[in-house]
Chains A and B, each alone.
Chain A
């Protein structure tokens, strides 16, 4: 049976592949088998039955399992749901086993479509999936792009003003590329020297390529170290991101690394690479990953597994850019320079001429009365057109100094009347011809006329003002006083009427002519001369004056003075409307005066001559003689009067009064006096005394005097003088008065010194606060000892004036405190320093303190009194009263819160401030008085303030002026000016803060404030 196994299995296999069973063949096969088993059967089954149920059974037996299995599979394949479930079971495994390349090819279109569909359906899904992948890449890409931009910008800036820069700008212009591109092209000189491909897992070197002449240490070690450093950085700074170091820079060398999935590519670059190089390197790394992804992943240190990598890396190493050295384009540069110089010169000249023209134009524009309406420069010529006032400056005269060639200036000026105030003023001055008494001026753009003028002129001026009101400046004639001739005439007349000695009888005005008649005293003022001061035209005045004699006392006096010619000794004056003559006069003059008085008595003032004493020359002479006779040292021998001449003879002592000098003042005519005097020595004591004084030179200490007709010398003198005086006395004894020198004490120097010493000692003893204990004089030296109060007079100082030689004085003083009330007072004054309101005085040996003082001082004084009482000195403080400062402080508060306010720009306060000023003045006076009582001086600082409107300097002066005004106003109200101090604070101490730009200013800041200072 074993041998039949194989054929069966073979037929079985064939059968399973057939859908329709070839039953005939099967039958034949079975017959065949039967014959082989039993050759006897051969003949038996020659034919094959077409249908045999046994065959069917056999088939069931042989392939029944397969048939059912087939049916199941067929069913599975036919039913899509079942098939999907079956394929789904095996798909992951099948995909994993499929060839990568083929599967990728097959899946690509489907995946692409699926992705497309997904994006169409909801783009967010795919975005969310790819987000973690894209974000780092995008971030990196943007970062590089920004770096690239900065690099481009940096390089452009760095080269913008260099010679290279100019060259490259030219190149950019020539080639039509951007300047920054050219800059980058030239400045980014670099060379990739090494490229390392390093396994990310182990840090082992996969491949290393180096440029031709570059050298480096062992690349294996370098690559490992590089990855170690990457790890180090990542670990040290806890960097989670799946990337490595981008850039390491060391001097000229840069290491740029690009991190791939399995390998890192590190390029070592010398120089300044463009940022685009990152992309190049990244492309190379990507390509390597695409081509050898599996090999990279499985890299175990055997670099032979990755043969093609080096050629890829080689493309990186070949990257370089070297600056090409071109010859310097001297010709081009020279040509460009020449063009530049010519163009620059032309530009400068035209600029300069235009600048000068502009200077001239601005000068014109600044001129009042000139309006430039149009100006231009054409072909080097200047054209200007406009308006000018005939009174304005000639535009042509403004040209010198501007360097503009007058020949090239073409002007076209239309005359017009400028309304600028100064031009209007000029025209008004010309047209109105204002009288001298009127002054025209421009004030704040207005024309102001001031002074006096006649009505007619004022009317004309008013008409001119109305004309001007149409567009012109304001012409203010309100300040011109209307003084027409009539007014002036009336003023003149009333002046005449007040003149003494002038009586206006009649006056009138007719046809502009003035007529006046009246009386005038010749001695009165001249009406004509009064006319000259009144501006009344003298030609139009017709005066008719009658002279008359005024009986007014002063005119009468004048006339009397002229007619009577009173002598010097008579004085005429007007007293109570009476004319009084006083003095001495001769009888003849008195008679004439009496006649005049009688004349005057009819209607004139009384002329009183009773005060004139009748003195005739003879009488005066006698008076003179008798006066001479009473003179000591003058002896009148004889005198007489003959023919109006006076004769006198006699004796006179040279020391006696000069008779001639006595003559003056007697009104005796010296020319009529004939005197003959003989000199003699008078023995009258007075004359003797004079002579002795002259001859003896008596010393200071000797006094000569006349006592009962005797000449007495008193005092001290040395012996020599006494001897001489004694000789003189002997001479005088013959007929002269007695000269008594017995009272002159002889003083020798020693005796004098001792005397002086005694005088000094007695002086010391009389000094309060000095007690002399002992004193003596031995051998020309003086010794003194004692006590002295420090406040007492200095004994040494007392020496002066005593004629005691200080060198011979030996003093020994002990200090002590004198309890003499005077000293106690001094000490108290020094130690307690009493306020001025307190007075210390000594009353019957007691010290009394009187006045007002603060409580603190009183208690100190009380303590001093207690102390002194132990020494037996009475200090009476019972009359002290306590000073009340509270009221003073209250008053000070009130003063300091007072402000005087001003209107804007005014330095005088308005009338509404008067109550405040009155109150302030009262408060200041009261405060000053109270302060004075308290022993202090109060001073008040008046500080002026202004608002911020206007210039600062003006504000400063206005503020000071305000303070000054208030000072004057307070002074007027009785505040002593020395108590008022003044300062201007300008805008610096505002009461309320103020915005500097405000137009109105703050009225609260326009004020004067007061601060009280106590000294």
Chain B
């Protein structure tokens, strides 16, 4: 049994919880997010030689970086950064959160998800900007909680990154 702690970070209402809802095992209610500030789900990713259990710590989304409970990230081996594609500000939030985590616990693998890709008419992130980020070697996915597009792929990618 191989398990990895993964933290899901993102600004307020970027759709982290909805994004994973259909793809994970969960026993806790979403109330935990507002009460404890974290909700824990599990995503099992099967590889031919092994199965990796991603223990996903879905941290409550806050645009106020100051209230971020960085202690929840301790012991994590990977991050899922979620950005609302219709709100460019959330990209900055996600990146800031990642910087804080790295400053505290060192560099760790991560994937960057631009969510709400179904809302094409309201999409606000320029293609160029995404390409630029991709050129840094970042794993970036355009996802949709509505259609489930690329979500599984993203987790599979992350699992392979952390299980090396």
Contacts and interface: CB of A to CB of B under 8 A. Distances in A.
B62 to A, nearest CB: 14
Contacts of B28: 221, 225
Contacts of A200: 75
B42 interface: yes
B4 A220 contact: no
A235 B60 CA distance: 15
Contacts of B40: 221, 224-225, 228
Interface stretch (B10-18, B66-74, B142-150): B66-74
Given A202-B76, A228-B57, A231-B69, A217 B27 contact: yes
B72 A301 contact: no
Nearest to A217: B27
Contacts of B84: none
A183 B32 CA distance: 40
Interface string A42-81: 0000000000000000000000000000000000000000
Nearest to B41: A221
B1 A224 contact: no
Q: Which 5 A-B pairs have the closest CB atoms?
A: A202-B75, A201-B75, A217-B27, A301-B3, A202-B5
A228 B36 contact: yes
Contacts of A302: 1-2
Contacts of B90: none
Interface string B25-59: 11110001000111011100000000001010100
A220 B69 contact: no
11 contacts: A201-B74, A203-B55, A204-B3, A222-B27, A228-B40, A228-B57, A231-B69, A231-B72, A232-B36, A301-B3, A302-B2
A203 B72 CA distance: 9
Interface string A380-419: 0000000000000000000000000000000000000000
Contacts of A222: 27
A303 B37 CA distance: 28
Contacts of A199: 75
B52 to A, nearest CB: 8
Interface of B: 1-5, 25-28, 32, 36-38, 40-42, 53, 55, 57, 69, 71-72, 74-77
A301 B4 contact: yes
B5 A203 contact: yes
A220 B1 CA distance: 11
Interface residues of A, number: 25
A285 B61 CA distance: 36
A232 B5 CA distance: 17
B109 to A, nearest CB: 13
B5 A224 contact: yes
Given A202-B5, A228-B40, A301-B4, A221 B25 contact: yes
A917 B76 CA distance: 105
A235 B69 contact: yes
Interface string A217-250: 1101110110011011011000000000000000
A787 to B, nearest CB: 96
A205 interface: yes
Given A220-B53, A229-B36, A234-B71, 9 more contacts: A201-B74, A202-B75, A221-B25, A221-B26, A225-B28, A231-B74, A301-B2, A303-B2, A303-B3
Interface of A: 199-205, 217-218, 220-222, 224-225, 228-229, 231-232, 234-235, 300-304
Contacts of B32: 225
Contacts of B53: 220, 301
Contacts of B72: 228, 231
Contacts of A205: 3
A201 B41 CA distance: 18
Contacts of A221: 25-28, 40-42, 55
Contact of A204 (B26, B71, B75): B75
Contacts of A304: 1
A301 B36 CA distance: 24
A883 B53 CA distance: 113
Given A199-B75, A201-B75, A232-B36, A301 B42 contact: no
Nearest to B69: A235
Nearest to B76: A202
A232 B57 CA distance: 13
B27 A220 contact: no
Contacts of B69: 231-232, 235
B55 A224 contact: yes
A235 B74 CA distance: 13
Contacts of B2: 301-303
A232 B37 contact: yes
Given A202-B77, A217-B27, A231 B71 contact: yes
B152 to A, nearest CB: 20
A222 B27 CA distance: 9
A225 B27 CA distance: 10
A218 B71 contact: no
A231 B36 CA distance: 10
A94 B26 CA distance: 51
Given A221-B27, A301-B77, A204 B36 contact: no
Contacts of A301: 2-5, 53, 77
B41 A300 contact: no
A221 B55 CA distance: 7
Contacts of A218: 25, 27, 42
A83 B76 CA distance: 49
A456 to B, nearest CB: 113
A652 B24 CA distance: 157
A444 B140 CA distance: 115
A220 B74 contact: no
B4 to A, nearest CB: 5
A897 B1 CA distance: 104
Contacts of A204: 3-5, 55, 75
B38 A203 contact: no
A765 to B, nearest CB: 106
A203 B42 CA distance: 13
Contacts of B75: 199-204
A730 B145 CA distance: 152
A200 B41 CA distance: 19
Contacts of B76: 202
B65 to A, nearest CB: 16
A303 B50 CA distance: 13
Given A202-B74, A203-B5, A229-B36, A224 B27 contact: no
Given A229-B36, A231-B71, A300-B77, A220 B5 contact: no
Contacts of B71: 231, 234-235
Nearest to B1: A303
Given A199-B75, A204-B55, A231-B71, A220 B3 contact: yes
A249 to B, nearest CB: 18
Contact of A220 (B38, B55, B57, B77): B55
A144 B26 CA distance: 36
A303 B38 CA distance: 24
B36 A220 contact: no
A854 to B, nearest CB: 83
B139 to A, nearest CB: 20
A301 B1 CA distance: 8
A302 B55 CA distance: 13
Contacts of A300: 4, 77
A911 to B, nearest CB: 93
